[in-house]
Amino acid sequence: MTVVGVIAYVLLGSGALLALTRLALGPSLLDRVVATDTLLVIIAAGLAVHAALQRDPTVVPVLVVVSLLAFVGSVSVARYVGGMPLQSRQGEPGQPTGAADRQVDR
């Protein structure tokens, strides 16, 4: 294994450990979703590094599946969270929160 391969695997491994830490300690659902998406991207990058260093094209379909899984998961969670009503800090949901949201009657 070359020095470049070792450096790439060490960086990907440390990134995966940091993503797993955020996944375990994340205070909110969105933090855990971002950590999961980051972990899937790191897995895809690891597969790409392996395919490039070993000159093995058989992992490319697995790489495509992992990439599609990451994309579809991110989009579906974003659509789910985007459909939730936002609550204002000052009152009920849907109430104006600032001067820009208030309507002026003329």
pLDDT band for position 77 (50/70/90)? confident
Residue 98, phi-psi category: left (phi > 0), alpha (psi -120 to 50), beta (remainder): beta
Predicted pLDDT at 31? 87
95 in a domain, yes or no?
no
93 in a domain, yes or no?
no
| Total domains, the chain | 1
Q: What is the CATH number of the domain that holds 26?
A: 1.10.287
What's the whole-model pTM score? 0.71
pLDDT average, residue stretch 87-94: 56
100 in a domain, yes or no?
no
59 in a domain, yes or no?
yes
Tens of pLDDT, residue by residue over 12-38, are 999 999 999 999 998 888 888 889 999
Quick one: which of 16, 10, 8, 14 has its CA closest to 54? 8
Domain interval for residue 68:
3-82
Contact 60, 52 (CB under 8 A): no
